[in-house]
Chains A and B, each alone.
Chain A
Amino acid sequence: DTGVSQDPRHKITKRGQNVTFRCDPISEHNRLYWYRQTLGQGPEFLTYFQNEAQLEKSRLLSDRFSAERPKGSFSTLEIQRTEQGDSAMYLCASWIPEAGYTFGSGTRLTVV
C-alpha cells in the first residue's frame, strides 16, 4: 500500500468515449500531481495542484483533458472523446520535500 490510491486500475474504452480517473493522495500532502507514462518512456508531467488550486498544466493536456481537485482532497482526471493516442498509464502522485513523490499504482487506459 503506497498511501496514494488510484481507481480504476485498468480501463478499456472505445474511441470517442469519455473516461474519468480518481486519485486519493496521502491526506497530509498538499501537492498532487498527474503524470502520463507510455511504454519505454519516463512519466510526463500533466498538471499539479496545491490544495484545490490547479497551478500548472502541461501543453500535453489538450482541451479534451480536465483535472479537478475539489476541497483539496481527492482529484479526478477526465478525458473526453478519447483517442488511441491517449492509451497510457496515468499516474497520480502526492509530494512533500522530505519524501519526494509517492506514486499511486496508476490507471492503465487502453483505447480501442
Chain B
Amino acid sequence: RKEVEQDPGPFNVPEGATVAFNCTYSNSASQSFFWYRQDCRKEPKLLMSVYSSGNEDGRFTAQLNRASQYISLLIRDSKLSDSATYLCVVNIGNFNKFYFGSGTKLNVKP
C-alpha cells in the first residue's frame, strides 16, 4: 500500500461547480499535511496547509480527518484557471520527510 493515495481523476467539471478531492494516508502518526498545485510541466506550488481544525482560503477549504486518515480539498465556484493537478503531501514518521500523492487532475470546462 502506498503511503499517500489519491484518486488520479481526471475530474471534469463545468465552471462554477463545486468539486472535492480526498487523499488517504497510511501512517497514523503523520502530523503535517499540505495541498500543492502543479500545472502541466511546471513545478509544484503550495496551495495551502491543512490544519486539524480545518482551514479556508477564499474558494478553497481543506479538512483533516484523523480517525479515517484522510485529508480533503474542496473548491467552490470553480474557475478555468483552477485546471491543474492537485497533490497532497503528508509527513510520514518523522518531521523531515514528506510523501506526495500521485495527484488528482482537475479540468474545469467553460
**A residues bordering B, Cβ < 8 Å?**
2, 31, 35, 40-45, 48, 50, 55-56, 91, 99-106
Which of B52-60, B67-75, B91-99 is found at the contact surface with chain A? B91-99
Q: Number of contact residues on B: which range applies?
A: 20 to 34
The interface residues of chain A lying within 8 Å CB-to-CB of B102 are 40-42
User: Which one of A48, A101, A106 has the greatest number of beta carbons of chain B within 10 Å?
Assistant: A101
Q: A100-B34, A101-B44, A103-B44 are in contact. Are A45 and B49 (CB under 8 A)?
A: no
A99 touches B100 (CB 8 A): no
Residue B80 is within 8 A (CB to CB) of chain A in the complex: no
A42 touches B100 (CB 8 A): yes
16 contacts between A and B (CB under 8 A): A2-B43, A2-B45, A31-B96, A35-B100, A40-B8, A41-B102, A42-B101, A43-B100, A45-B97, A56-B97, A91-B43, A99-B46, A101-B89, A102-B46, A103-B44, A103-B45
